[in-house]
């Protein structure tokens, strides 16, 4: 997003050019008034822009970098429309498409940088790194001869060095158990999963977290559900928190899994787009599964379509906090230089007629983004009564439940931001990522044992033997952090759960360890589990 200063600068430049050309424009107009009047008499709003650009091209004193001017001015134009119409240069377009398509070119590792050296947390099964022999706990020292350890390299820069076109090779110097080992890894297509985890919370309750609506989301869901059903799932907790959306068709397919035939999932409508309804066809395999959906202020777009469809059809309980409020339909338009725009062409409406999109002022991108901070400021994140409900935007579901429009999906069960156990000590530990850093130390110490873990029970038994509390307190002391014992008594349990989850990620279980462990201190999950 460009800054307001940049927009003002561009506008000033254009205005200066226009003023400089006034003399020549007036002269030309006097010489050929009829032609000028014909151009402006059409009444089309773009004619003046066309006229200015023509005058610049024909009369400007210096040569013009047309490509640069175009790249600079397109974002300004689209910014004046709505917050979601955007111009994407070739590189941004490529990255956005790769994320949504569910794959990218790379080496297939996840890593963390707890201090100043990247430590591989896990390698993607069947991916290039696993085939080359990389392992969890390996430290990346150099990439293609360039040192990346101990120099505090930007994490995004390191990701960029590891990514590359499929078929190309990258040379890695790796530190493994105090020994330097070299690897040549051939990059390949790396699948990006959108379902982070799917597991059974108890004998009848399944849990699934969807991080993004990518091209593969429905396929991943379809692969995960049978295992949960075989394990006895009668109820599914479907976690869409922090899911910013993605492909509409994936939201429709997932909604169809839960709704009976003829149920209206969503409809969209715009000035140049007549109303289009989307219905369930009754083929879904989860129609008899009780459903609970978790959302928060970062759940947007396709997440809101799914949550709204379930709420308006009385199909699920919605837990958490009001969603983001992105209900615009973006249509991609591609250019021959691999750039493109995503242009808003319609709005989404839930089955009862609620518009998902929150209010906005055209051109005020900063105010739109800061809406989330306004919610915090006015207490909406901690108090359900602070959520604004407009009686003129009141709707009723088939079973008589009252729901409200005005932007976003308001949950049926409000769960506030969790402030229990928060102390200055906890804030410092999290701000400085001290638990993350210590988990890397622990993983080094128990590397062989962690690599042998196959089940969550085995992992928990190993974690119980690590004496994480004493070890972490000693680590804090060595780092010069004074521990207030009263604050530790309040926050210690939270930190220890975080440590167990973080260390668990260094095992082959990866997220299948992290999420089940961290759920113990997740107040939204606990609310959904408790309110049966």
* In contact, 335 and 90? CB cutoff 8 Å: no
E strands present in 335-468: 340-349, 394-396, 402-404, 413-414
From 129, 301, 302, 439, active-site residue: 301
Please indicate whether residue 412 is annotated as part of the active site: no
How far the first Cα of the chain sits from its last, in Å, is: 43
The dihedral built from the CA positions of residue 216, 217, 222 and 227, taken in this order, carries a sign that is: positive
Supply 523's token pair: 């107040």
The candidate with the shortest Cα–Cα distance to 186, out of 164, 170, 165, 174, is: 170
Tell me if 462 sits within 8 A of 448, measured CB to CB. no
| The two structure tokens encoding residue 289 | 């599964």
CB distance 307 to 293 below 8 Å: yes
Q: What is the number of alpha carbons within 13 Å of residue 149 lying toward its C-beta? A: 17
d(CA 418, CA 72): 42
Give the DSSP letter of residue 202.
S
Structure tokens at 50: 């066309």
Number of H helices, E strands in the chain: 20, 21
312 catalytic per annotation: yes
User: String of b and e for 97-136 (b: at least 16 CB within 10 Å)?
Assistant: bbebebbbbbbbbebbbbeebbbbbbbbeebbbbebebbb
Of residues 82, 255, 326, 522, which has the active-site annotation? 326
Nearest to 508 by CA among 107, 99, 110: 110
CA 415, 416, 417, 423 dihedral sign is negative
Distance CA 441, CA 475 (A): 10
b or e along 253-280 (b: 16 or more beta carbons within 10 Å of the residue's beta carbon)?
bbbbbbbeeebbbbbbbeeeeeeeebbb
Q: Which of 82, 188, 239, 312 is labelled catalytic? A: 312
Which 3 state secondary structure label does DSSP give 492?
helix
Q: Considering only CA atoms, which of 408, 311, 381 is closest in space to residue 523?
A: 381
**Which residues are annotated as catalytic?**
301, 312, 326
């Amino acid at each position: 997003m460009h800054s307001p200063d940049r927009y003002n600068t561009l506008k000033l430049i254009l205005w200066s050019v226009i003023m400089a050309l006034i003399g020549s424009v007036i002269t030309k107009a006097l010489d050929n008034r009829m032609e000028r009047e014909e151009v402006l008499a059409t009444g089309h709003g773009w004619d003046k822009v066309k006229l200015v650009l023509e005058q610049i091209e024909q009369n400007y004193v210096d040569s013009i970098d047309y490509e640069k001017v175009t790249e600079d001015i397109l974002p300004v134009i689209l910014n004046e429309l709505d917050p979601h119409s955007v111009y994407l240069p070739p590189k941004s377009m490529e990255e956005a498409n790769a994320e949504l398509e569910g794959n990218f070119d790379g080496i297939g590792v996840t890593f963390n940088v707890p201090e100043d050296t990247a430590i591989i947390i896990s390698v993607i099964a069947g991916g290039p790194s696993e085939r080359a022999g990389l392992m969890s706990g390996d430290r990346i020292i150099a990439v293609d001869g360039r040192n990346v350890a101990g120099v505090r390299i930007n994490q995004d820069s390191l990701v960029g060095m590891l990514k590359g076109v499929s078929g190309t090779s990258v040379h890695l110097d790796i530190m493994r158990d105090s020994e330097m080992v070299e690897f040549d890894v051939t990059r390949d297509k790396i699948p990006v999963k959108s379902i982070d985890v799917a597991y059974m919370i108890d004998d009848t309750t399944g849990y699934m977290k969807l991080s993004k609506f990518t091209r593969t989301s429905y396929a991943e869901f379809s692969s995960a559900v049978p295992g949960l059903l075989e394990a006895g799932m009668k109820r599914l907790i479907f976690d869409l928190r922090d899911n910013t959306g993605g492909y509409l068709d994936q939201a429709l397919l997932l909604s169809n899994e839960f709704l009976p035939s003829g149920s209206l999932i969503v409809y969209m409508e715009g000035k140049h787009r007549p109303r289009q309804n989307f219905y369930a066809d009754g083929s879904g395999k989860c129609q008899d599964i009780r459903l609970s959906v978790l959302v928060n202020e970062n759940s947007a777009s396709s997440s809101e379509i799914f949550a709204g469809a379930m709420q308006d059809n009385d199909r699920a309980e919605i837990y958490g906090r009001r969603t983001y409020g992105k209900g615009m339909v973006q249509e991609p338009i591609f250019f021959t230089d691999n750039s493109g725009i995503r242009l808003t062409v319609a709005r989404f409406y839930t089955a009862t007629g609620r518009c998902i999109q929150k209010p906005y002022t055209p051109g005020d991108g900063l105010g739109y983004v800061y809406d989330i901070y306004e919610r915090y400021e006015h207490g909406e994140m901690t108090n359900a009564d602070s959520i604004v409900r407009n009686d003129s935007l009141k709707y009723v579901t088939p079973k008589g439940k009252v729901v409200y429009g005005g932007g976003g999906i308001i949950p049926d069960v409000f769960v506030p931001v969790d402030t229990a156990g928060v102390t200055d000590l906890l804030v410092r530990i999290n701000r400085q990522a001290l638990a993350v850093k210590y988990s890397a130390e622990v993983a080094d110490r128990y590397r062989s044992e962690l690599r042998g873990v196959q089940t969550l029970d085995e992992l928990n038994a190993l974690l119980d033997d690590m004496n994480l509390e004493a070890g972490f307190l000693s680590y804090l002391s060595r780092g010069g952090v004074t521990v207030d014992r009263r604050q530790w008594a309040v926050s210690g349990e939270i930190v220890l759960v975080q440590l167990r989850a973080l260390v668990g990620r260094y095992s082959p279980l990866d997220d299948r360890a992290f999420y089940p462990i961290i759920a113990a201190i997740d107040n939204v999950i606990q609310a959904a589990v408790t309110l049966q």
